[in-house]
Homo-oligomer: A and B are copies of this chain.
Amino acid sequence: MNKPIGQTRWAIAEGYIPSWGNGPEPQFTSHETACMLNTSDQDAHVEITIYFSDKEPVGPYRVTVPPRRTLHLRFNDLTDPEPIPRDTDYGSVFESDVPIVVQHTRLDSRQSENALLSTIAYGSND
């Protein structure tokens, strides 16, 4: 691979982690995932900022995606500086020192059958 694919800044305007779900844990826990793909030959140091509707942003949360690896990060698992509250609207911005690709997925298992959504995030190099 000649050149890493992607961009260095990504935004996901939609975020919401339901507080409950149905089905075997942890696969069917309601969750939001940010899938990050780093095709470069360097670590991608990613800083994530979480935006809310009614208070100042929280972050940065720091994660590292190793070279030539994908990281499927559950927002549910973020704890430092603080966990993301459930049943709360949020948005997120990802800033990486190398180009990455970010995709957003939610599994909603609040009712007996799960529902899925996914979309590419909004990417920019600005």
Please report A residues at the B interface, Cβ cutoff 8 Å: 1, 3, 5-6, 9, 11-16, 23, 27-28, 33, 35-37, 39, 49, 51-54, 56-57, 68-72, 89-91, 93, 95, 100-106, 108, 110-124, 126
Residues of chain B contacted by A108 (CB below 8 angstroms): 114, 116
Asked whether A103 and B12 contact (CB < 8 A) given A72-B89, A113-B113, A124-B5, the answer is: yes
Asked whether A68 and B51 contact (CB < 8 A) given A11-B5, A120-B121, A122-B120, the answer is: yes
Does A70 contact B89, Cβ atoms closer than 8 Å? yes
The CA of A56 and the CA of B93, in the complex, are separated in Å by 27
Does A68 contact B56, Cβ atoms closer than 8 Å? yes
Does B70 contact A51, Cβ atoms closer than 8 Å? yes
Asked whether A49 and B117 contact (CB < 8 A) given A35-B91, A70-B89, the answer is: no
**Shortest CB distance A97–B (Å):** 14
Closest to A113 in B: B113
Partner of A116, one of B91, B103, B106: B106
Partner of A103, one of B3, B14, B124: B14
Does A118 contact B115, Cβ atoms closer than 8 Å? no
